Amino acid sequence: MAASVERRWSRRQRACHECDLLLGDAVAPPGKKLECPRCDAVLHRNPRGSAAHTAALSLTGLLLFFPVLSLPLLSFSILAFGAENTLLNGVIALFGEGYIWMAGLVLFCSVIAPLGKFLLLGFISLGCHWRLLDRPVTWAVRWYEHLKEWGMLDVYMLGLLVALIKMSDLGKMEVEPGLYCFVAMMLVSNLTTLSYDQQAIWSRLEERRRRDAGGREPAARRGEPRP
């Protein structure tokens, strides 16, 4: 019996990325998640309709970038004087004052990283259908992992709200149409992150590789050399 257990385990294994516990490979059922029995790390989350949803949502996000970057988010006026805030002119103002490092950080976290996330996810979820793009998709998956925590649209949203309330006793603060687009983009961004399932991309690539190989040697796809 022990031998059969061992054989079942040895087919394919995975290790928990947070506690290194060796586990049998399993995939979460759709809509559920798989947790490590030792440290409760989420090993795999399986959102329904992953690749198609991710593609649709990231394209939506990319389209929303145009109004968000061009329309003002907030406007502030005292008597006859007024000014507007767009996503970029805060960065430009900081840059003009000489706070280059801060301007760069704000630019990166509020524009470049979210844009990069949408672009990478769109590319991954659409590109994984073509054999030709296997290598770039692999590269994109890796870079997405590095980039994902730096997209901070939700934090920026909270910053907007704090600014809105903080300054409302000094003058007249108004919400501009860009803000609604921004809220939409933030929601789309979070939904995109939630609907993306890396494991589904890998299994799609793997499936195709196996089909290309003619499915003759199932052991060859594991990429785990026997010691």
Partner 1 sequence: MTPHPKAREGGRTCCLNCHWLVTLPRGGGGCRCDRCGGMVHQRIDGSVMLTWAMTITGALLLVPANILPIMTVIYLGSGEPSTIIGGVMQLYSVGLWGIALIVFIASIAVPVMKLVGLVLLLLQVQGRLPIEPSQSMKMYRIVAAIGRWSLLDLFMISILVALVDMGTIASVAAGPGSTAFASVVVITMVAVRCFDPRLIWDTYDEQRFERSEPTITEPLGKGANGDA
Q: Which of residues 44-103 bind partner 1 (CB under 8 A)?
A: 44, 73-76, 78-79, 81, 83-86, 89-94, 97, 99, 101-103
Q: How far apart are CA 148 and CA 105, in angstroms?
A: 15
1 near partner 1, rule: CB under 8 A: no
DSSP state of 168: T
- Of 47-55, 63-71, 145-153, 189-197, which part binds partner 1 (CB under 8 A)? 145-153
160 near partner 1, rule: CB under 8 A: yes
Residue among 59, 63, 71, 109 that touches partner 1 (CB under 8 A)? 109
Query: Which residue stretches of 170-215 are H helix?
Result: 177-195, 198-212
Give the other-Cβ count within 10 Å of 146's Cβ: 9
Residue among 26, 32, 33, 39 that touches partner 1 (CB under 8 A)? 39
* Residue listed under structure tokens 């803000």: 179
Positions 196 through 225 that interact with partner 1 (CB under 8 A): 198-199, 202, 223-225
Nearer to partner 1, 60 or 140 (CB): 140
Residue 88, judged by CB atoms within 10 A of its CB (0-12, 13-18, 19+), counts as middle
Angle between helices 134-147 and 113-127 (to 10 degrees): 150
Residue among 18, 172, 175, 218 that touches partner 1 (CB under 8 A)? 18
42-45 and 74-78 beta bridge pairing: unpaired
Nearer to partner 1, 60 or 197 (CB): 197
Nearer to partner 1, 167 or 184 (CB): 167
Nearer to partner 1, 214 or 227 (CB): 227
Q: Which among 72, 59, 68, 78 is positioned nearest to 176, based on CA atoms?
A: 72
Nearer to partner 1, 32 or 166 (CB): 166
Nearer to partner 1, 30 or 206 (CB): 206
When computed from its CA atoms, the radius of gyration of the chain, rounded to whole angstroms, is 23
